[in-house]
Structure 1
């Protein structure tokens, strides 16, 4: 099959694997990304290999760079660095930049927004990026981000398994540096932990 698998780790490593390299692996377990101790695979998505990707960190930074900066590697390779993270920071969301898509980004204390992907200028891989959401004690760290179409449904899930599902268009659009607004009521020691995107057909 044509195309690539793009892998992203929490510590900011990225890797491109040709889908054709995976077609012969039926029924066998194979490591497809070598990770350092303490690192985890965050997300995987398919790409044509010639667009842009965006990574978002818990500290509220986002970086957009060309896939072409990440050459395809063998299955056991660890990949390359995609974003330069500060102490205690980690990648919490990533996705391919496509036509008619926007970024939905949410924080642990239930804040969220939509932002135009055009607000993130393409830059070189392994930079610090730019502000994707202005975090504070009020918002808490960014907990998740996803590239969505307006007709997609987005499920927000808290640590205590409370959920709220809305259409992506229900998130108010704000500037890249804005903190967003409350999108889910978070009570006590609960926190908004992740997003699941339910894509529409077409």
Structure 2
């Protein structure tokens, strides 16, 4: 198991694996926490690993890392929350910090909301948003206008009790394939092109038909 290779503490979980070929000075690790805090660090700060790992962020007691991406210094970031809010801003709005810094606010959350995902947005791609009840949609990246970090963002998908909260997001194009994983162990595979691209401020459509007691827990994309 991976946890045995990297020496995780009791109760600690691996949240992301980021493939890196080299540690260039002009590349960065960009992270977001469940509470909407973002942080940008030089990738080169991680070029000398230790057996038990190194601290790369200071977290509050009720806070965990949600996602980590490698960025190029001026990339566009989209963060989406469980209640369907999304914010789009340029990574350079977040200054480069040391590994022990806590970070700054990336998105302002309502009291009962949490961040569920982040993508590095590229023009021409679409943003896939999927809810726990199997509803979702693809929307052109350009539909998410760029603002400044720290705001509440805009609606990515309308959530309610019947459709469930957002559980995952992915940046996809027509050539991608998608694998949806459910709570009871079902796996559904489909082409991204099978999901219609629609407007941002909408409820979406049923993408995966689930049994009554089942729910989506994650989605992965397969790059051709």
Kindly indicate whether the alpha-carbon contact (under 8 Å) linking 2:71 and 2:120 is maintained by their aligned counterparts in 1: yes
Q: What residue number does 1:87 align with? A: 111
Greater mean deviation of Cα atoms: 41-50 or 141-150: 141-150
- Structure 2 unmatched runs, 5+: 1-22
Structure 2 CA distance for aligned equivalents of residues 77 and 191 of structure 1: 36
Q: What residue number does 1:196 align with? A: 220
Number of residue pairs aligned between Structure 1 and Structure 2: 200
RMSD between aligned alpha carbons? 1.3
Structure 2 CA distance for aligned equivalents of residues 152 and 33 of structure 1: 32
Greater relative contact order: 1 or 2 (C-alpha under 8 angstroms, separation 6 or more)? 1
Structure 1 CA distance for aligned equivalents of residues 193 and 60 of structure 2: 38
Structure 1 CA distance for aligned equivalents of residues 178 and 35 of structure 2: 25
Kindly name which structure, 1 or 2, has the bigger radius of gyration based on alpha carbons.
Answer: 2
Kindly indicate whether the alpha-carbon contact (under 8 Å) linking 2:123 and 2:141 is maintained by their aligned counterparts in 1: no
Structure 1 CA distance for aligned equivalents of residues 134 and 80 of structure 2: 17
Quote how far apart the aligned CAs of 1:26 are: 4.9
Q: What residue number does 2:53 align with? A: 29
Q: What residue number does 1:154 align with? A: 178
Quote how far apart the aligned CAs of 1:77 are: 1.3
Q: What residue number does 1:67 align with? A: 91
Match of 2:191 among 147, 158, 167: 167
Quote how far apart the aligned CAs of 1:12 are: 0.8
Match of 1:45 among 69, 74, 96: 69
Match of 2:128 among 97, 104, 113: 104
Q: What residue number does 1:127 align with? A: 151
| TM-score normalised by length of structure 1 | 0.94
Structure 1 CA distance for aligned equivalents of residues 32 and 174 of structure 2: 24
Quote how far apart the aligned CAs of 1:28 are: 4.3
Quote how far apart the aligned CAs of 1:190 are: 1.9
